């Protein structure tokens, strides 16, 4: 009889692994994974990892959502002096704003018509005319004379005579501020206090003398006409008008002379 293969007494060979694509890669571990159960819950203050011990519990839940910080959308400019950010909300209508860090002004709009901005070396923001070529800083601790631009040069072919005007630094007799003036024989209006003074005593003294002489001449003429026409005035009333006119003209000239005598004099510091 033929021997039955299944009845052989030899040791049974191990089954060959399934090489099909549907077979799991790690055979024999499916039952172990199924018996492990769900992962342990997350522990906030987990103990540190110690070698030889299992890792701490973890959680598969993502961290809570934290919204990003909102950006400040207020209008702002950069300070031209300290480069800090200046918020201009509510001040958009102004031409310049003041920096809270360095206390200096920064323009946010164009200057008025016919004006321009100038930054002094002491960081003061000044406003002057477009045609200005020299300005003075009004700060007490600065008082710098700033040359903005050289006067336009005439072409070489031009034969016009050069017109030069002396420029002087004048100290105002009213507010003691310094400003630049072009001549020494005229009245000057201070750009700081807007009051009029005489640049040097010569101009005021000359005008006072002229008006005093004219006033005395009119008074003398009025007295002479009054004495000479006293008898005629009784018959002609028009002579009284001549008398009044002469005396009024003399008194007005004397008042003008007193004005120049008491005028404040601004002193000249030096010639530039």
pLDDT-based confidence at residue 213 (cuts at 50, 70, 90): very high
Confidence of residue 188 (pLDDT cuts 50, 70, 90): confident
Query: In the annotation, is 128 catalytic?
Result: yes
Summarised one tens digit per residue, pLDDT across range 144-182 is 888 886 555 555 544 444 444 556 778 888 888 887 777
Concatenating the DSSP letter of every residue in the chain gives -PPPGGG--SPPPPPPPP-STTS-SSTT-HHHHHHH-SPPPP-TTPPPP-TTSPPPP---SPPPP-PPPPPP-S-EEE-TTT--EEE-TT-TTSSEEE-TTT--EEE-SPPPTTEEEEE-TTS-EEEEETT-SEEE---TTT--EEE--PPPPPPTT--PPP-----EEEE-TTT--EEEES-SSSEEE-TTT--EEEESHHHHHHHHHHHHHHHHHHHHHHHHHHHHTHHHHTT-TTHHHHHHHHHHHHHHHHHHHHHHHT--EEEEEEE-
Question: What is the structure's pLDDT at 253?
Answer: 92
pLDDT tens digits, 10-61: 555 555 555 556 655 555 555 555 555 565 555 555 556 566 666 555 545 5
Q: Which of 79, 120, 122, 128 is catalytic?
A: 128
pLDDT for the residue numbered 39: 58
pLDDT value of position 14 = 54
Threshold 0.85, pTM exceeds: no
pLDDT class for 3, splitting at 50, 70, 90?
A: very low
């Amino acid at each position: 009889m033929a021997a039955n293969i299944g009845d052989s007494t030899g040791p049974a060979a191990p089954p060959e692994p399934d090489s099909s694509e549907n077979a799991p890669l790690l055979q024999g571990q499916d039952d172990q994974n199924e018996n492990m159960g769900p992962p342990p819950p997350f522990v906030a203050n987990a103990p540190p990892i110690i070698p030889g011990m299992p890792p701490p519990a973890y959680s598969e839940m993502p961290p809570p959502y934290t919204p990003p910080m909102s950006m400040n959308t207020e209008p702002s400019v950069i300070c031209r002096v300290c480069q800090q950010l200046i918020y201009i909300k509510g001040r958009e209508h102004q031409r310049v704003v003041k920096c809270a860090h360095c206390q200096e002004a920064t323009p946010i709009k164009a200057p008025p018509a016919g004006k321009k901005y100038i930054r002094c070396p002491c960081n003061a923001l000044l406003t002057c005319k477009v045609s200005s070529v020299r300005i003075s800083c009004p700060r007490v601790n600065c008082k710098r004379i700033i040359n903005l631009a050289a006067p336009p040069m005439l072409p070489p072919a031009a034969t016009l005579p050069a017109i030069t005007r002396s420029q002087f630094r004048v100290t105002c007799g009213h507010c003691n501020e310094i400003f630049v003036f072009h001549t020494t024989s005229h009245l000057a209006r201070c750009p700081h206090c807007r009051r009029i003074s005489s640049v040097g005593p010569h101009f005021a003294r000359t005008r006072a003398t002229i008006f005093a002489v004219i006033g005395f001449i009119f008074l003398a003429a009025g007295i002479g006409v009054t004495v000479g026409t006293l008898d005629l005035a009784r018959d002609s009333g028009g002579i009284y008008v001549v008398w009044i006119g002469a005396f009024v003209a003399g008194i007005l000239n004397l008042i003008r002379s007193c004005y120049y005598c008491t005028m404040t004099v601004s002193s000249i510091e030096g010639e530039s």
